[in-house]
Amino acid sequence: MRETFHGQLAQLGEHLVEMCGMAAESMRLASRALLTADLQLAEQVLSSDAVLDRARQTCEELAQSMLALQAPVAGDLRTILAAVYGAEKIERMGDLAAHIADTARFTYPEHAVPAEFESLFTELGEIAAGMAERVGEFIVGDAGGGFAELNETDHAVDALHARALAEITGADWTHGVQSATSLALVARFYERFADQAVSVAKRLEFAETGERPTSV
Amino acid sequence: MRETFHGQLAQLGEHLVEMCGMAAESMRLASRALLTADLQLAEQVLSSDAVLDRARQTCEELAQSMLALQAPVAGDLRTILAAVYGAEKIERMGDLAAHIADTARFTYPEHAVPAEFESLFTELGEIAAGMAERVGEFIVGDAGGGFAELNETDHAVDALHARALAEITGADWTHGVQSATSLALVARFYERFADQAVSVAKRLEFAETGERPTSV
């Protein structure tokens, strides 16, 4: 029974790691589609989102069957609940990447990101994708300290987000209202993507240690 | 044991209903603060958000202890998982109401919502708060059909959200870029609040029936 349980737990972890990889990839491709006004790539991200949705459902069903058949307690129970929680958040990360791709599609053939903001949004996309990958590493490895690490990374994302908003709404903005609102929403999608990664890291650390990590 | 379990389940339900009431109230007050540029009210919503955060943690701890001690299966297990899921979403609804209040605070003493949009945002706020209350009713009563109902209501929210965005980015917009981006983000907070209510209704219906309801 314990062996089955640990086999299933490993399987659940593998699914989640795969989901993190998909979310990171979606974020990278969506960012590229946004920055290069690549319609085909944007559509690829949008259609691949269904894969992540199914993966989340698979995780949930596996977790639910483990709860019903194995009645885990303590750390095992926390781990399974963290997996249910994480699967939902990682699916949401995919949704947010899809929103970015959707903005690229909506704006096409125009570029949603004015040239002077390209480096800022490139950086946002790279940091966000990297956070999804770090979550995957916390799942297979040691999740201790993961919350503090990603919380720190999230401060950088928040600073970029704030800078973007300040420039969009500043006196020097010359790209009009439509472009401003679209870019403000896109900036928020990146910021929310990063928030989800932080919350999964927090939950994974709680599952591992039994203590709710506090922010620094 | 079953009696304890059902007592705890009822207690969990009561907490969740209370959370729905708090989310609905926060949405109403945040909307009023936004529409009347009421700084004090905005601050009240922002400070009361911590109560909802704690209520969510109480729900989660109760659910986790029920899972560990009672090892529920089938419908009972689905119900407890729905409670964990719901508590997280309702807490998020409170966060979104707090974001609306925060916009009112940030914009004060200016009004964030231009006069010609007041009725649209009033309607968004009322519908959204009503959705939170309906979720509470599904928790104590019959959740069957709840997803279809709130999904239908959500179409009205989506239509209002789309209308707001179209007007904000339309040729007749005269309130400048800062006001446009702020209002576009606020419109999104209402829309996301409604989305959370739909997803909780869906999960409650699944808990009750064992079938995942599909959208109409």
Any idea where the domains of chain B sit in the sequence? Answer: 2-209
- Chain A CB within 8 Å of residue B66 CB: no
* Nearest-neighbour CA in chain B from A176: distance (Å): 7
8 Å CB contact of B188 and A188: yes
- Chain B CB within 8 Å of residue A115 CB: no
Structure tokens at B142: 């019959």
Q: How many CB atoms lie within 10 A of CB A82?
A: 23
More confident residue, B216 or B61: B61
Q: Is the pLDDT of residue B184 over 60?
A: yes
Please tell me the predicted confidence (pLDDT) of residue B112. Answer: 96
Taking contacts as CB-CB distances below 8 angstroms, the residues of chain B near A68 are 73-74, 77
Handedness of CA B157, B160, B162, B164 (dihedral sign): negative
Q: Is the pLDDT of residue B215 over 70?
A: no
Q: Which residue of A has its CA nearest to B165?
A: A181
Q: Is the pLDDT of residue B89 over 60?
A: yes
Q: Is the pLDDT of residue B1 over 90?
A: no
- Chain B CB within 8 Å of residue A181 CB: yes
- Chain B CB within 8 Å of residue A167 CB: no
Coil, strand, or helix at residue A93? helix
8 Å CB contact of B169 and A178: yes
- Chain A CB within 8 Å of residue B180 CB: yes
Q: Give the C-alpha separation, B207 to B82, whole Å.
A: 6
Interface test with B, best of A1, A177, A196 (most B CBs within 10 A): A177
Residue with tokens 């969740």: B16
Q: Is the pTM of this model over 0.90?
A: yes
Q: Is A83 exposed, middle or buried (0-12, 13-18, 19+ CB in 10 A)?
A: buried
Structure tokens at A135: 């979550």
Secondary structure (DSSP) of A8-75:
HHHHHHHHHHHHHHHHHHHHHHHHHHHHHT-HHHHHHHHHHHHHHHHHHHHHHHHHHHHHHHH---HH
Chain center to CA of B53: 13
Q: What is the pLDDT tens value at each position of chain A, 216 positions in all?
A: 677 889 999 999 999 999 999 999 999 999 999 999 999 999 999 999 999 999 999 999 999 999 999 999 999 999 999 999 999 999 999 999 999 999 999 999 999 999 999 999 999 999 999 999 999 999 999 999 999 999 999 999 999 999 999 999 999 999 999 999 999 999 999 999 999 999 999 999 999 999 888 865
Mean pLDDT of B165-179: 95
Q: Is A175 exposed, middle or buried (0-12, 13-18, 19+ CB in 10 A)?
A: middle
Taking contacts as CB-CB distances below 8 angstroms, the residues of chain A near B188 are 185, 188
Interface test with B, best of A181, A188, A212 (most B CBs within 10 A): A181
Q: Is A73 exposed, middle or buried (0-12, 13-18, 19+ CB in 10 A)?
A: middle
DSSP 8-state symbol, A116: G
In this structure, of A180-189, B1-10, B203-212, the range with the lowest mean pLDDT score is: B1-10
Q: How big is the A-B interface in CB pairs under 8 Å? A: 61
Q: Report in angstroms the alpha-carbon separations of A24 from A93, A164, A184, A199, B112.
A: 9, 22, 21, 16, 35
Structure tokens at A73: 């307690």
Please tell me the predicted confidence (pLDDT) of residue A155. Answer: 98
Please tell me the predicted confidence (pLDDT) of residue A215. Answer: 67
Please tell me the predicted confidence (pLDDT) of residue A212. Answer: 87
- Round the CA-based radius of gyration of chain A to a whole number and report it: 19
Please tell me the predicted confidence (pLDDT) of residue A3. Answer: 77
CATH superfamily, with its number, for domain A2-209 = Phosphate transport system protein phou homolog 2; domain 2 (1.20.58.220)
Q: Which long-range contacts (CB under 8 A, 24 or more apart) does B68-71 make?
A: B68/A72, B68/A73, B68/A74, B68/A77, B70/B1, B70/B4, B70/B5, B70/B8, B71/A71
Complex ipTM tops 0.90: yes
Q: How does residue B77 score in pLDDT terms, banded at 50, 70 and 90?
A: very high
